[in-house]
Structure 1
Amino acid sequence: MTIQIAKEARKEAITSIERYARENFPEPIGSLEADSLLTFFLEEIGPLVYNKAVTDVQERLQARIMEVDIEVHEAEFQYWRKHDAKRQKR
């Protein structure tokens, strides 16, 4: 699965890559090179980041599901216990 980003986000990413190259490398790169580099990162490294995010979400959802049991659990067969407790109070 190729990760796609919106056109405007892609433009901003390319601009950011160009600036990074200008400030950190001896030779600046143009928008064509920055676009190629972005494509490479999205195809090669993007799935790694995406899969990690999916795993993180799954773990958080699983933890939340475990909490739901605690939050909404109702004890079973409570009628007689409540009934007997009321009788003892009288």
Structure 2
Amino acid sequence: MSQRSRPSPVHIKLSKAQRDQLLSAIQAHFATELDEEISYFKAKSLLTFFVAELGPYIYNQAVQDAHQFVQAKLSELEPTLYEPESTV
């Protein structure tokens, strides 16, 4: 079974407002950068493709970045957590 055919445990859900904003952005990008008008349905198809194909990579990178951030903060905090032990 190929990796693409396995269901992803990451389900990226966009609100209607987010989806509408992204669809408008895709249409605007095509109009301004590529001098091409695309329909709502083509923009929706592209958004679906990008969320499915790019979403997991972006999600995983965000999780990795958050993990590194938290680890760095915990490393800074660690010396203040321990009580000095007497050497007597």
Normalising by structure 1, what TM-score? Answer: 0.79
Q: Is the 8 A contact 1:21 1:27 kept in 2?
A: yes
Matched with 2:43 is 34
Name the one with the larger helix percent. Answer: 1
Shift of 1:42: 0.3
In the alignment, structure 1 residue 17 sits paired with structure 2 residue 26: yes
Q: How many residues align?
A: 79
Shift of 1:53: 0.4
Matched with 2:14 is 5
Aligned partners of 2:35, 2:19: CA distance in 1, in Å? Answer: 24
Equivalent residue letter for 2:69:
R
Q: Is the 8 A contact 1:2 1:42 kept in 2?
A: no
What is the RMSD computed on CA atoms of the aligned residues?
A: 1.5
Runs of 4+ in 1 over 6 A off after TM superposition: none
Indicate the SS of the match to 2:28: helix
Matched with 1:76 is 85
Higher relative contact order (CA 8 A, sep 6+): 1
Structure 2: state its 5+ residue gaps: 1-9
Structure 1: state its 5+ residue gaps: 81-90
Identity percentage of aligned residues: 33
Matched with 1:64 is 73
Q: Which one has a bigger Cα radius of gyration?
A: 1
